[in-house]
Chains A and B, each alone.
Chain A
Amino acid sequence: YPLFQLGGPQLRIFRPNFFMLAVRPGVPQPEDTVQFRVSMEMTKVDIKNYLEKIYNVPVAAVRTRIQYGANNKRNHKNQRVKKPDYKVAYVQLGQGQTFQFPNLFPEKEQDTETQAFDDFKDKYMEREKQRQKGDLRRGGVPDWFGL
């Protein structure tokens, strides 16, 4: 972006590629910190204004870093395939708010019918495996092996 100087025109950008994706942090973060993957062109000020004006979320502090995507994998033509770079933002919420990334794939509670069916299926598979194993006294040797 061109640098703003005193008396110059106000910079206006129409339809910027500004997106924010809330992600689960790889390492445990403090309770008031939310981790986002944001567009590479966004700055800390942009992120703060985005959250405050669009989503009404009080933001106390923002820290960003750019994660370099590795370029080591090779395709079938032995050309290097690059994983894309992305910017990560750590946003600390204001007014004492906290955030915990939700568990998106919780264990479903099974009702008695499906539970009984699952148990029956497990037992059947076990019995089949035992039958295929054969005599334990032969120590895993197949039954066609012999004199």
Chain B
Amino acid sequence: MAAPGGRRLLWPGRRWLSQAEPAVSPQPPSSPQPPSSLYPPIVASATAKSTAAKRRRLEHFKQRVHAAPSIEEKLRLYGLLQRPKYVVYPQTFALNADRWYQSFTKTVFVPGLPPRAASAAAKAPAAAGVTPGAGTAPQPEAAAPAPARSAEAAAGAAPYLDVRELRALACDALLQETFYQHKPRPGLYRSQEHTPGPFLTQLVSSLAAYLCGRNPLLAASSLDLKPEVNYYWHHGEEVVVHGHRKGRVDPVRFQIDDNPHLQIRVPKQLPEVVPLESDLGDVPVINHKPSKLPLFKRQYENKVFIGSKAADPCCYGHTQFHLIPDKLKRERLVKANLEDQIEVVYRANGIASLFAWTAAQAMYQGFWSEADVTRPFVSQAVVTDGKYFAFFCYQLNTLALTVETIQNNPRKNICWGTESKPLYDVVEDGSVKGFNDQVLLQLVRFLLNRPKES
């Protein structure tokens, strides 16, 4: 025990005594607040070349993203580190792409549309304008089309949806683009943007304007022409094959950059179709590397975008409209003996585009792979090549697709989809032959979809 004076002389920096002062005197357990330790907490280094240091850096990054003050800052930190990533194209010529895309996005594909859409259709045309919002009860009604049609045929008055007027709208748009308007012949691989593109734009905008009175959500919506939708995510792990980072275990990075033909964004979210934890099927498991699809890697900006920036009030998605490009048209696939891939093209487009859109919407609300969604995000899409229409509905239940977060995550994303059906048979001599009312009605149902008014 040295004298207190001697100790003070030796204080700056040096400890000659082997007995160090007790750092924390043991407190009685009844005290409410333990005293702060004189030593800082002993944790692993943050800069060493060790797994503990890597874990600590990862934790630090996650805390930075959790504590980001705004959505833009959160997205900026999320996509800060750029590395080579697989670019996923929703409209692809790859064979069996829909199964691969389901495995990348943990999506269950359910053929047919959910029964809620069918029952809403029966109620919306049949019910008067008094109770427009009561049509979203999720009860499967097998006789939905029949009473709808009879009700519409019986009453042609204003509160009921007039199929004749809707058919007239669609036929007008079609004839204007194909028959009445004289356009120069399209060039090579430009026939889709020559006729079906303008027809789709005209059809959707006129239908949306017509149905505004029935669906107040459409009145407050925003219709985007050729918007951009991007999403970046990690799923699975792989070992880096060559380069200066050879041998390290990296997450597999994906990026979707999509340009739908049209998009409707709304300020309120669509209601959920099934509860968050429902299990409607299995996700296909593919044990091969994504490059065997074939899928190629590129390194560029990791963008997450829904079509508008975060400050836009219309931050939820309603419906997307996709136009199949010229290289993936039906005739070309039939000529190349790939008839079974026709539906695959539609399905892959629906799954990938809708996953990117719903996931980007969820990120705009602050959710990400470490902070999983607390409510499901629902969006719809129509994929068409001008004549054939396929309808898709997507429910995003989980964003946690990285290696650590997917382990204890039983939730799966769900995509409902139909096969492609023709809207009309042929256009000749100024009239449309073989018009299919069902397809038009399904389109109208999609546009009339809105959240329950409580």
Q: Which residues of A are at the interface with B, using a C-beta cutoff of 8 A?
A: 27-30, 32-33, 58, 60-61, 63, 92, 94-96
Task: Tell me the nearest residue of chain B to A60, going by C-beta.
Answer: B95
Q: From known contacts A60-B95, A61-B95, infer whether A94 and B294 are also in contact, taking CB-CB under 8 Å.
A: no
Instruction: List the count of A-B residue pairs having beta carbons below 8 Å apart.
Output: 24
Q: Which residues of A contact B340 (CB under 8 A)?
A: 95-96
Q: From known contacts A28-B288, A29-B288, infer whether A63 and B95 are also in contact, taking CB-CB under 8 Å.
A: no
* Cβ–Cβ contact B288 & A94, under 8 A: no
Q: Which residues of B are at the interface with A, using a C-beta cutoff of 8 A?
A: 93, 95-96, 286-289, 292, 294, 337-338, 340-341
Q: Which residues of B contact A32 (CB under 8 A)?
A: 95-96
Q: Which residues of A contact B96 (CB under 8 A)?
A: 32
Alpha-carbon distance A29/B338, docked complex (angstroms): 21
A-B contact pairs, 17 of them (CB 8 A): A27-B289, A28-B287, A28-B288, A29-B288, A30-B286, A32-B95, A33-B292, A58-B337, A60-B338, A60-B341, A61-B93, A61-B95, A92-B95, A94-B337, A94-B338, A95-B340, A96-B340
Alpha-carbon distance A83/B101, docked complex (angstroms): 39
Task: Tell me the nearest residue of chain A to B286, going by C-beta.
Answer: A30
Q: Which residues of B contact A94 (CB under 8 A)?
A: 337-338
* Cβ–Cβ contact A30 & B337, under 8 A: no
Alpha-carbon distance A62/B340, docked complex (angstroms): 17
Q: Which residues of B contact A27 (CB under 8 A)?
A: 289
Known: A29-B288, A30-B292, A60-B338; 5 extra A-B contacts, CB below 8 A, are A28-B287, A30-B288, A33-B292, A92-B95, A96-B340
* Cβ–Cβ contact A63 & B294, under 8 A: yes
Q: Which residues of A contact B292 (CB under 8 A)?
A: 29-30, 33
Alpha-carbon distance A32/B341, docked complex (angstroms): 14
Alpha-carbon distance A75/B337, docked complex (angstroms): 51
Task: Tell me the nearest residue of chain A to B341, going by C-beta.
Answer: A60
Alpha-carbon distance A95/B95, docked complex (angstroms): 11
Alpha-carbon distance A100/B314, docked complex (angstroms): 52
Alpha-carbon distance A58/B336, docked complex (angstroms): 11
Q: Which residues of A contact B294 (CB under 8 A)?
A: 63
Alpha-carbon distance A58/B337, docked complex (angstroms): 9
Alpha-carbon distance A32/B288, docked complex (angstroms): 12
Q: Which residues of B contact A96 (CB under 8 A)?
A: 340
Distance from B157 Cβ to chain A, minimum over Cβ atoms (Å):
53
Task: Tell me the nearest residue of chain A to B293, going by C-beta.
Answer: A30
Distance from B89 Cβ to chain A, minimum over Cβ atoms (Å):
15
Distance from A33 Cβ to chain B, minimum over Cβ atoms (Å):
7
Q: Which residues of A contact B95 (CB under 8 A)?
A: 32, 60-61, 92
Distance from A84 Cβ to chain B, minimum over Cβ atoms (Å):
23
Task: Tell me the nearest residue of chain A to B288, going by C-beta.
Answer: A30
Task: Tell me the nearest residue of chain A to B336, going by C-beta.
Answer: A60
Q: Which residues of B contact A30 (CB under 8 A)?
A: 286, 288, 292
Distance from A109 Cβ to chain B, minimum over Cβ atoms (Å):
31
Q: Which residues of B contact A95 (CB under 8 A)?
A: 340
Distance from B156 Cβ to chain A, minimum over Cβ atoms (Å):
50
Q: Which residues of A contact B93 (CB under 8 A)?
A: 61
Alpha-carbon distance A60/B337, docked complex (angstroms): 7
Q: Which residues of B contact A92 (CB under 8 A)?
A: 95
Task: Tell me the nearest residue of chain B to A63, going by C-beta.
Answer: B294
Alpha-carbon distance A58/B294, docked complex (angstroms): 19
Alpha-carbon distance A94/B294, docked complex (angstroms): 16
Alpha-carbon distance A29/B96, docked complex (angstroms): 14
Distance from B327 Cβ to chain A, minimum over Cβ atoms (Å):
13
Distance from B82 Cβ to chain A, minimum over Cβ atoms (Å):
26
Alpha-carbon distance A60/B339, docked complex (angstroms): 10
Task: Tell me the nearest residue of chain B to A92, going by C-beta.
Answer: B95
Distance from B168 Cβ to chain A, minimum over Cβ atoms (Å):
43
Distance from A47 Cβ to chain B, minimum over Cβ atoms (Å):
14
**Which 9 residue pairs are nearest across A and B when measured between Cβ atoms?**
A30-B292, A30-B288, A60-B95, A92-B95, A61-B95, A60-B338, A94-B337, A29-B292, A28-B288
Alpha-carbon distance A61/B288, docked complex (angstroms): 18
Q: Which residues of A contact B286 (CB under 8 A)?
A: 30
Alpha-carbon distance A29/B286, docked complex (angstroms): 11
Distance from B240 Cβ to chain A, minimum over Cβ atoms (Å):
15
Alpha-carbon distance A30/B96, docked complex (angstroms): 11
Alpha-carbon distance A4/B341, docked complex (angstroms): 31
Task: Tell me the nearest residue of chain B to A59, going by C-beta.
Answer: B337
Task: Tell me the nearest residue of chain B to A61, going by C-beta.
Answer: B95
Distance from B141 Cβ to chain A, minimum over Cβ atoms (Å):
37
Alpha-carbon distance A23/B96, docked complex (angstroms): 24
Alpha-carbon distance A28/B288, docked complex (angstroms): 7
Distance from A98 Cβ to chain B, minimum over Cβ atoms (Å):
12
Alpha-carbon distance A28/B292, docked complex (angstroms): 9
Alpha-carbon distance A32/B294, docked complex (angstroms): 13
Distance from B340 Cβ to chain A, minimum over Cβ atoms (Å):
8
Task: Tell me the nearest residue of chain B to A28, going by C-beta.
Answer: B288
Q: Which residues of A contact B288 (CB under 8 A)?
A: 28-30
Distance from B133 Cβ to chain A, minimum over Cβ atoms (Å):
47
Distance from A135 Cβ to chain B, minimum over Cβ atoms (Å):
46
Task: Tell me the nearest residue of chain B to A58, going by C-beta.
Answer: B337
Most chain A Cβ neighbours within 10 Å, of B286, B294, B337: B337
Alpha-carbon distance A30/B333, docked complex (angstroms): 22
